[in-house]
Amino acid sequence: MITGFENYLRSHTPLTGEEIGKITATARRGLLQRNEKLLQQGQICRHKTFIVTGLLRTYGIADDGREAILQFSPENTWILDAESYDKQVPSRFNIAAVEKSEVLMWTKDEYDTLLEELPVLRQLSQQLISRSGHNNRQRLFTVLSASPEEKYDNFIHQYPDLLSRLPLHMIAAYLGISLKTLTRIRHSRLPR
Amino acid sequence: MITGFENYLRSHTPLTGEEIGKITATARRGLLQRNEKLLQQGQICRHKTFIVTGLLRTYGIADDGREAILQFSPENTWILDAESYDKQVPSRFNIAAVEKSEVLMWTKDEYDTLLEELPVLRQLSQQLISRSGHNNRQRLFTVLSASPEEKYDNFIHQYPDLLSRLPLHMIAAYLGISLKTLTRIRHSRLPR
């Protein structure tokens, strides 16, 4: 499991083997079964988590009980509830495994220490936070302005690999459209 | 105009008078008329901008020509298109004045130099980026999951001061609901 993470760091940063060793030394390994929660709404997000294999989703529960999915996080990405983690306050959202997933976790203290010791890791983290901000902005614009058809086409264009790994109701909960509308769009896209 | 900005810095940071002088020394003053653009989609966002007085909006244009408003930015807040500014690539969004507005602007080079020289300013900037990330996340959840009524109630709860400063069509374009729906909701909220 560590090897996959080391490969990720090697291909995304100029960190030395020794520095990478420092990062992996404090990592806790975790295994999540399908549907198992990494974070429950109301709990404090105590860990920064790297997904080595598998797929997770971050979601909130609307007043009417429906799930709204904010984000899918596949292998080789990081996941946390940023507000809860940054301020160590209860989270408004849930994080759960869509597939059986292997993860590596650091507590905020452990990770903050690494960030202080390793400027290259700090740089990577800032890049990822920036990118996540840009993506959220673009996603907000799509959710506000696109038609259901455009939302679906955007999604399969942006995440072609995820389509076969997700149940339809989760794609609908991510796009903010009903399962009925999603089914209609998919049907209209079938070759005749 | 500088005084308003100095007061903002004094109340939000422990910056010394000398440090504040360093920041204001490179600031350019700008005056935007109502509807005047600070940034046009396709242009590179070259400045970080602080709003001293007035109100701006960030918006994109959907394929069908409708405006989707991502953010309102009143006095004593910062505004930029983060992706365009960070990477110095063409912006996908527009920024325009809702009211006549006084702003202070720094080029990316000027501001990056200040960030290097002033750790306290760097800390403030990181806090603001984090908070903006948390807000965007919450906004995405609301847009995905709330009913039009909940969206409107959230808005007047979160931005009571903005309500009287914005034309209805802009509030609708921010909430992602039609002007007709917004008018219906406002009518149903009137005291009888």
B61-110 pLDDT, tens digit per residue, is 998 899 999 999 999 999 999 999 999 999 999 999 999 999 999 999 99
- Cβ–Cβ contact A138 with B under 8 A: yes
Contact B136 A141 (CB under 8 A): no
**Is B189 an interface residue toward A (CB < 8 Å)?**
no
State residue A56's pLDDT score: 98
- In chain A, the domains with their CATH numbers are 2-110 (2.60.120.10)
How much is the pLDDT for B105?
Answer: 98
Residue B73 is predicted with a pLDDT of 97
Task: Find the closest chain A residue to B172 by CA distance.
Answer: A144
Q: Across all residues in chain A, what is the average pLDDT?
A: 95
Residues (pLDDT < 70) of chain A are none
In this prediction, residue B24 carries a pLDDT of 96
B 110-129 near A (Cβ less than 8 A): 129
Q: pLDDT at position A63, please?
A: 87
Is the Cβ–Cβ distance between A105 and A26 less than 8 Å?
no
Which tens digit of pLDDT belongs to each residue from A76-110?
Answer: 999 999 999 999 999 999 999 999 999 999 999 99
Kindly report the nearest CA distance between residue A171 and chain B, in angstroms.
13
What's A192's DSSP letter?
-
- The predicted pLDDT at position B166 comes to 97
Tokens 């990330």, residue located: B133
Chain A neighbours among B 143-162 (CB < 8 Å)? 143-147, 150
Rounded mean pLDDT for each run of 10 residues along chain B, 192 residues in total: 92 96 96 98 98 98 93 97 96 98 98 97 93 92 94 94 96 96 93 74
